[in-house]
């Protein structure tokens, strides 16, 4: 527990979540934890019926559980339980109440930051020590530019956007309002494009930009390259995890989810609400349709129709991939079956050969 945490009773939690309380309404907690690690002074949750047995082994003072487990409340006598429709959402709501976010500092432009005289920094924006704001940058109001961050010349940033420590924003990038760019991300660097000349790899110019819409989150150490000609774009509402690679001229649609270590080669385009799970790899110039789901470690080399889930290398319909995997699991048994059948066939062939030999001998004797 930390100094800025609040204590709360089971009765108060049930009221805040509009949940059903079973147990002592006066039980008090001052912290939150995972169900297996929680102490009597802590709140925990179980997210589904398949996890419900974990309550018995938990020491948590209060447990938030799914509504559909209400008929099992007698299974845990003496426990304080709160039944809600969405346990994880309720748990995180109370977690923020117990430990509210630290208030935003209002430090202004640090004297230890480097801000070019031609740059414009909006009202109530914080520029932390060692940040570098280059010429002709425009930053909106209520932004936070973390320590060690570099904002390249000509970049434009909307209102209430946070760029954490040591991020690098190359020149002429556009970033919308209400965005979050986490530590160490690199936006707008030159793409990986070369041609071979006289036995050497010669870099191709990349004269495009990166344009990021409103309410976009980009995780730590993610890379978004600038366009070769034209822009790399990330549309509003998209969430990008840490360590994702987005190459030159990709066009990412609204409300996508790109999970850690996903890699998009040049000129990939996506529709709306596309999901790429961890370590998915998308080949260049591929299009992913609206609501397509690309499973973890899937390799995509052609356009994928929207509204479907895909798995495997190469990517194919998830149900088809599952059938293939089930068939592969049966291969050892099938191999044994085939070997046994081969033995039986060999035996039958020997018997048939003997019969044919006997018939031939009988015919010669009769002659």
H helix or E strand, kind and range, residue 168? strand 168-169
From-to residues of CATH 3.40.1390.10 in the chain: 8-98
Give the residue numbers marked as catalytic. 248
pLDDT at 358: 74
Buried b (16+ CB within 10 A) or exposed e, 230-256: ebbbbbbbbbbbbbbbbbbbbbbbbbb
Write out pLDDT tens, residues 283-333.
999 999 999 999 999 999 999 999 999 999 999 999 988 888 888 888 888
Give the closest residue to 160 by CA, choosing from 132, 123, 185: 123
Does the 114-320 domain belong in CATH 1.10.3720.10? no
Q: 363 pLDDT exceeds 70?
A: no
CA-CA-CA-CA dihedral for 267, 269, 275, 277, to nearest 10: -20
Mean pLDDT of 97-121: 93
pLDDT at 4: 65
Percent of the chain residues topping a pLDDT of 90: 80
Residues whose CB falls within 8 Å of the CB of residue 98, separated by 6 or more in sequence, listed in order: 5, 6, 7, 8, 29, 30, 31, 32, 43
Classify burial at 341, counting beta carbons within 10 Å of its beta carbon; exposed 0-12, middle 13-18, buried 19 or more: exposed
Instruction: Count each helix (H run) and each strand (E run) in the chain, helices first.
Output: 5, 39
From-to residues of CATH 2.160.10.10 in the chain: 114-320
User: What is the value of pTM for the model shown?
Assistant: 0.85
Main-chain phi, psi angles of 186, to 5 degrees: -130, 115
Q: Is the peptide bond before 314 cis (omega within 30 degrees of 0)?
A: yes
Strands 299-300 and 162-163: unpaired
Length of the chain: 367
Is pLDDT larger for residue 20 or for residue 5?
20
CA-CA-CA-CA dihedral for 191, 197, 200, 201, to nearest 10: 10
Q: Which two tokens stand for residue 27?
A: 């039980």
Is pLDDT larger for residue 61 or for residue 330?
61
Work out the pLDDT band at 102, boundaries 50, 70, 90.
confident
Work out the pLDDT band at 119, boundaries 50, 70, 90.
very high
Main-chain phi, psi angles of 106, to 5 degrees: -120, 80
Write out pLDDT tens, residues 236-257.
999 999 999 999 999 999 999 9
Q: 2 pLDDT exceeds 60?
A: no
Q: If you search the block for the tokens 């059903």, which residue do you land on?
A: 20
Work out the pLDDT band at 366, boundaries 50, 70, 90.
low
Specify the CATH number of the domain 8-98.
Answer: 3.40.1390.10
């Amino acid at each position: 527990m930390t100094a800025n945490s609040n204590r709360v009773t089971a009765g108060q939690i049930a009221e805040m979540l509009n949940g059903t309380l079973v147990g002592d309404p006066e039980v008090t907690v001052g912290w939150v934890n995972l169900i297996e690690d929680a102490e009597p002074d802590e709140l925990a949750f179980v997210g589904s019926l398949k996890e419900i047995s974990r309550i018995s082994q938990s020491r948590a003072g209060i447990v938030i559980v799914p509504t559909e487990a209400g008929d099992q409340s007698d299974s845990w006598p003496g426990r304080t339980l709160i039944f809600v429709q969405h346990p994880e959402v309720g748990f995180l709501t109370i977690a923020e109440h117990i430990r509210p976010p630290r208030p935003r500092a209002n430090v202004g432009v640090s004297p230890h930051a480097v801000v070019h005289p031609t740059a414009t920094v909006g009202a109530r924006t914080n520029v932390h020590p060692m940040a570098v704001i280059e010429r002709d940058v425009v930053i909106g109001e209520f932004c936070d530019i973390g320590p060690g961050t570099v904002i390249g010349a000509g970049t434009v940033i909307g209102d209430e956007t946070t760029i954490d420590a040591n991020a690098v924003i190359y020149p002429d990038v556009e970033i919308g309002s209400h965005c979050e760019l986490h530590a160490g991300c690199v936006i707008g660097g030159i793409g990986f494009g070369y041609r071979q000349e006289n036995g050497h790899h010669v870099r191709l110019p990349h004269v495009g930009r990166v344009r990021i819409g409103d309410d976009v989150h980009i995780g730590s150490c993610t890379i978004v390259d600038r366009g070769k000609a034209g822009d790399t774009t990330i549309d509003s509402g998209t969430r990008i995890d840490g360590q994702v690679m987005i190459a030159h001229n990709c066009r990412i649609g609204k409300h996508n989810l790109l999970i850690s270590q996903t890699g998009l080669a040049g000129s990939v385009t996506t529709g709306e609400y596309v999901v790429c799970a961890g370590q998915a790899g998308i080949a260049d110039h591929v299009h992913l349709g609206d609501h397509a789901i690309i499973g973890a470690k899937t390799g995509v080399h052609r356009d994928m129709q929207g509204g479907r889930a895909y798995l495997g290398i190469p990517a194919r319909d998830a149900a088809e991939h599952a059938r293939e995997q089930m068939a592969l699991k049966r291969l050892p048994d099938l191999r044994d079956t085939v070997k046994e059948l081969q033995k039986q066939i060999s035996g039958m062939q020997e018997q048939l050969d003997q019969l044919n030999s006997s018939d031939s001998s009988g015919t010669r004797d009769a002659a």
